[in-house]
Amino acid sequence: MGLVFQGPSRIMPMQHGCSVLHFSPGNDLRVTKILLDALAGQTSPRPPFWFMRQAGRYLPEYREIRTTVPSFLDLCYTPELAAEVTVQPVRRFHPDAAILFSDILVIPDALGQKVTFSEGVGPQLEAITSTDDLARLSSAETNTHLSPVFETVRQVKAQLPEDVALLGFAGSPWTVATYMVEGGTSRDFARTKTWAREDPDGFDDLLALLVSATSGYLIGQLDAGADAVQLFDTWASAVPADQFDRWIVEPTRRIVETVRAEKPGAKFIGFPRGIGPAIAHYVTETGVNAIGIDSALSPAYAADVLQPACTVQGNLDPMALLVGGEPMLRSAAAIIEALGDGPFIFNLGHGVVPQTPPENVAALAEFIRSGAGSGDLR
Ligand code: CP3
C-alpha cells in the first residue's frame, strides 16, 4: 500500500508514559526507553523520535527565559535555566529523548578562546589561524569550566519521565575548528582550509586538542547521567574527499575510542551533515551506533546501505515544518515507510528553524506517537 497517512481519524495519540511496558522475568513492570532500544539495534511498534534543535527561539517559553539572561552563553552556564529549556519541548511534544541545552562552541570557550553571540550576527570568536595561536589555548581546565553543563545534565535527569532518554552532545573537531579558525560562521572555510593545507601537522594539533577536550567533555556528560551522545559535524560537507579521513573520520573515531575506554559501551550518534555516499565509510570506520542522515540522503539508500550496519536517524526536511499539515505528515510517513522496519529514530535532517510554528511540531509529534505509518498501521 502506497499511501500511509489517511487523515486525522487515524491519529490516536497515546498517553505519554504508557508507551512501552515489558514484563521482565522477575515479573516486575519495567519502563523502557525505546530510543535506547533503537540505539541497541532493536525495533519498536513505532519509531522513537526527537528533533534536532527542539529547544530554542521558536518556542515562546524559551524566548521568555532568554530575556532573563544577558547572553546566550549565560543561559548555557546557568544549570537551572538550561535544565528548564531542555525540558520545555519534552513537556510540549513528549519526544522519546531530551537533548541537553548547551552549544558546540562551549568547547572553544572552555579552551580559552573568547566566544560571544550577538543577535542577528551569530557566533563571534577571536580567530586563531596558525599553530602559534594554539599556544593561547589550554585544555587543562576545560571540565572545570564546563562543570555547570554537567550540573544541567544532573538536573534534567532528575526531571525527565522514566521513558525519556537524555542525549548529551558535542561538535565534531572539524566543525568546531571551522568556527575557531574563521572566527564565526563561514561560506567557504577558506582560512581553515588554507591553514590545514599549508601546515597539515599544525592543523592536526588543533584537531588533537579538540579530540582530547571533546572526549573529556562527553565523558563528563555521561558521568552526570546522559544516556547517549550525539556528535554534530554540521560542516562535514565542506571537506574534500582526499582529506575526509584525516579531518573527519580519524578525529571522530578517536573520540569514540577514548570515551569508550572510560565508559565501555557508550552509545554514539554521528551526524556528518551533507557528505553523500561517504557516509557508509564514516559508519564503518568511526564505530558510531547510529547515523544521523540529512534531508538530501534518500531514506531508501539509507535502508539498503546503512541500516544493515547501524541504526539510522532522520531525516525530515525542517522546512516541511514551516508548512505543516498533510504535506508534512505525508513526507514523515514516507520516511517511516522506508526505514521503520529496521532500527530507526525519527528526526529531522537538520535543526528546527526559529520561524517554525510550534503547533506544526506538535502535529508531527502526535502523528509519530500515534503509530501512523508504522507496522500494522501501515
Ligand atoms: O535543542 C537542541 O538541539 C539543543 C541545543 C543546541 C543549540 N545549539 C542551542 C542554540 C544544539 C544541539 C546546538 C548545536 C550547534 N550549535 C550546532 C550544530 C547543529 C546545527 O545546528 O548545525 C552549531 C553549528 C552551533 C553553533 C551555533 N550556535 C550557531 C551557528 C548559533 C547561532 C545560530 C543563530 O541562528 O543565531 C548558535 C546559537 C544557538 N545555539 C541558539 C540556540 C538555541 C540561538 C541563540 C539564542 O537563543 O540567541
Per residue in 72-85, pLDDT (tens digit) is 999 999 999 999 99
pLDDT digits (tens, 9 = 90+) for 312-330: 999 999 999 999 999 999 9
Give the mean pLDDT of 80-108.
98
Q: Whose CA is nearest to atom 33 of ligand 1?
A: 122
Neighbouring CB atoms inside 10 A of 27's CB total 6
Residue partners of 209: CB distance under 8 A and separation at least 6: 111, 134, 137, 139
Which residue reads 580519524 in cell numbers?
A: 250
pTM of the prediction? 0.92
Q: Alpha-carbon distance 258 to 287, whole Å?
A: 12
Residues with CB under 6 A from ligand 1: 52-57, 66, 72, 99, 101, 103-105, 117, 122-123, 169, 185, 232, 234, 351
Average pLDDT of every residue of the chain: 92
CA of 51 to the centre of ligand 1 (A): 13
Three-class SS of residue 99?
strand
Residues of the chain above pLDDT 70, percent = 91
Question: Which cell numbers in the block locate residue 338?
Answer: 522506508
Q: Is residue 28 predicted with pLDDT exceeding 80?
A: no
Rounded to an integer, the average pLDDT of 15-23 is: 38
How confident is the model at residue 29, as a pLDDT? Answer: 64
Ligand 1 atom at minimum distance from 121 CA: 36
Distance 83 CA to ligand 1 centre (A): 16
| Cβ pair 212, 262 in contact under 8 A | no
- What cell numbers appear for 61 in the block? 517559553
| Helix H or strand E segment including 262 | helix 250-262
**269 pairs with which residues across the strands?**
230, 290
Give the residue with greater pLDDT, 3 vs 54: 54
Q: What does the block give as the cell for 108?
A: 572553544
Query: Distance between CA atoms of 255 and 263, rounded to whole angstroms?
Result: 12
**Strand blocks (E) in the chain:** 21-23, 29-31, 97-99, 115-118, 122-125, 165-171, 228-233, 268-272, 290-292, 311-316, 344-348
Atom of ligand 1 nearest to the CA of 76: 9
User: pLDDT band at residue 1, thresholds of 50, 70 and 90?
Assistant: very low
pLDDT over 90 (residue 11): no
Q: Which residues neighbour 256 within 8 Å (Cβ) at sequence distance 6 or greater? A: 266, 268, 286, 287, 288
- Whose Cα sits closest to atom 3 in ligand 1? 53
Q: What is the pLDDT of residue 376?
A: 44
- Examine the pLDDT at 279 and tell me if it is beyond 60: yes
pLDDT per residue over 197-238, tens digit each? 999 999 999 999 999 999 999 999 999 999 999 999 999 999
C-alpha angle 117/270/287, rounded to 5°?
140
Residue 276 reports pLDDT greater than 90:
yes
Compute the half-sphere exposure of residue 249: CA atoms within 13 Å on the CB side of its CA.
18
Cα–ligand 1 centroid distance for 327 (angstroms): 27
CA 371 to ligand 1 centroid distance, Å = 30
> Which residues are designated catalytic?
53, 57, 66, 103, 179
Q: Are 97 and 292 in contact (CB under 8 A)?
A: no
With CA atoms as reference, report the closest residue to 238 among 304, 181, 289, 290: 181
* Angle CA 107–64–158, to nearest 5: 60
Helix (H) or strand (E) holding 333: helix 325-339
Q: Which residue, among 302, 305, 322, 321, has the nearest Cα to 313 in the 3D structure?
A: 302
